[in-house]
Amino acid sequence: MSAPYEYALIRVVPRIDRGEFVNVGVILYCQDRNVLQADTDLDERRLLALWPAVDVAGVRAACRAIARACDAPAAGTLRDGGGLGARFRWLTAPRSTVVQPGPIHAGITDDPQGEVTMILRRMVAMERADDSVDG
């Protein structure tokens, strides 16, 4: 049975003043299936091309923190006043940091976990294939 879901891409904006970013992950929330999941795939080469001085270890740590926030038990966790939906809203709230969420999008799926993988391939990892295309 299909269920609606929401997702936001995780992006790294190494220099806010330039407005350039690299998609590095996805956060997906499906209320009907009680799923909150994040996955990342950091392309260091692309990130370093935007800003050679970027703190790659810090970016990796921030991505791990997002995944841990999704995996934490539903009750008794920091900033978890209303369950997974509230946690998704907190994770996707706009912020002016190097690692930040993009806009929230919606869809319908039979497999929320599989959808995370598909979005990651299409919107994050797929970008690497674009680098090799002659234009």
pLDDT given at position 68: 94
pLDDT given at position 74: 60
Q: What's the whole-model pTM score?
A: 0.86
pLDDT digits (tens, 9 = 90+) for 52-110: 999 999 999 999 999 999 988 765 555 546 789 999 999 999 988 899 999 999 999 99
pLDDT digits (tens, 9 = 90+) for 116-126: 999 999 999 86
Contact 100, 19 (CB under 8 A): no
SS3 133: coil
Would the pLDDT of 12 be above 60? yes
Cβ contacts of residue 2 below 8 Å, gap of 6+? 108, 109, 110
pLDDT digits (tens, 9 = 90+) for 14-32: 988 888 999 999 999 999 9
pLDDT given at position 72: 81
The residue among 8, 55, 14, 51 whose CA lies nearest residue 29 is 8
Q: What is the average pLDDT across 41-57?
A: 94
pLDDT grade, residue 35 (50/70/90)? Answer: very high
Would the pLDDT of 133 be above 90? no
pLDDT given at position 89: 95
First to last CA, the chain: 42
